[in-house]
């Protein structure tokens, strides 16, 4: 009886390990939470700023984030999305998941990019979200990439969550290779994502002084825009 029980135990352990192994193989690499450890610094006129930068691969977007050095949310946030033209849309989740946090989506529209504010309550197409408002500082599209830079008011704090100014924040992203149905409309429907991922940002990497934040935003607002 003891030997039989031991055999059953070993068999169950082997089965569980094999399932865990298969499951691990089935999880896309981009679902592993990675760290945005690098900075990207740029200038606009006489103003300069540094973003926390994350990119998982050349086929996926680069995300850049900057926030003013505040003790607590709410505060405005700066977000850049630089995506290869092979992508029809890209999305950024401020709370680290699709459901229950502000979602920032962008998609190309001619030589510009449309920004869309969304919120999901389940795993269906996210609805329009009026709790966050966006100011587009720049948007463009060329032969290889499209890019979007926005200031978001309402993305650092929301019902049920907020960004931490002291602890690591987790963000999520999603993309699709399929174009949206109405590129000029921020209320357009769009297809399900073809890739997703997560990454973390240390607030110390994304923080800039309030004056640097304000000066850069003002300079970008004053910069010439595409016709």
Rg (CA), the chain: 21
pTM, two decimal places: 0.84
* Pick from 79, 78, 129: nearest CA to 101: 129
Could you report the per-residue pLDDT of 6-39, keeping only the tens digit for each? 333 333 333 333 333 223 222 344 445 566 568 9
3-class secondary structure, 225 = coil
Which ranges of the chain have pLDDT less than 50?
1-31
Q: Give the per-residue pLDDT at 146.
A: 99
What's the CA gap between 25 and 35, in Å, rounded? Answer: 21
Question: What pLDDT score was predicted for residue 224?
Answer: 87
**Closest to 203 in 3D by CA, of 35, 86, 90, 63:** 35
Q: What is the pLDDT of residue 208?
A: 98
């Amino acid at each position: 009886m003891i030997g039989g029980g031991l055999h059953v135990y070993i068999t169950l352990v082997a089965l569980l390990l094999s399932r865990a192994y298969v499951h691990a193989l089935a999880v896309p690499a981009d679902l592993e939470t990675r760290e945005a450890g690098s900075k990207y610094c740029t200038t606009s006129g006489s103003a300069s700023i540094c973003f926390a930068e994350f990119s998982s691969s050349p086929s996926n977007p680069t995300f850049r984030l900057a926030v003013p050095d505040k003790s607590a949310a709410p505060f405005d946030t700066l977000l850049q999305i630089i995506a290869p033209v092979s992508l029809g849309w890209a999305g950024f989740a401020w709370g680290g998941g699709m459901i229950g946090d502000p979602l920032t989506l962008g998609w190309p529209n001619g030589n510009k990019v449309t920004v869309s504010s969304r919120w999901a309550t389940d795993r269906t197409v996210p609805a329009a979200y009026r709790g966050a408002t966006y100011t587009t500082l720049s948007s463009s599209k060329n032969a290889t990439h499209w890019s979007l830079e926005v200031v978001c008011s309402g993305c650092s704090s929301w019902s049920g969550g907020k960004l931490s100014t002291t602890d690591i924040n987790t963000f999520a992203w999603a993309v699709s290779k399929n174009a949206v149905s109405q590129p000029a409309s921020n209320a357009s429907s769009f297809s399900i994502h073809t890739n997703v991922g997560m990454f973390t940002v240390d607030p110390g990497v994304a923080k800039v002084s309030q004056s640097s934040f304000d000066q850069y935003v003002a300079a970008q607002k004053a910069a010439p825009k595409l016709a």
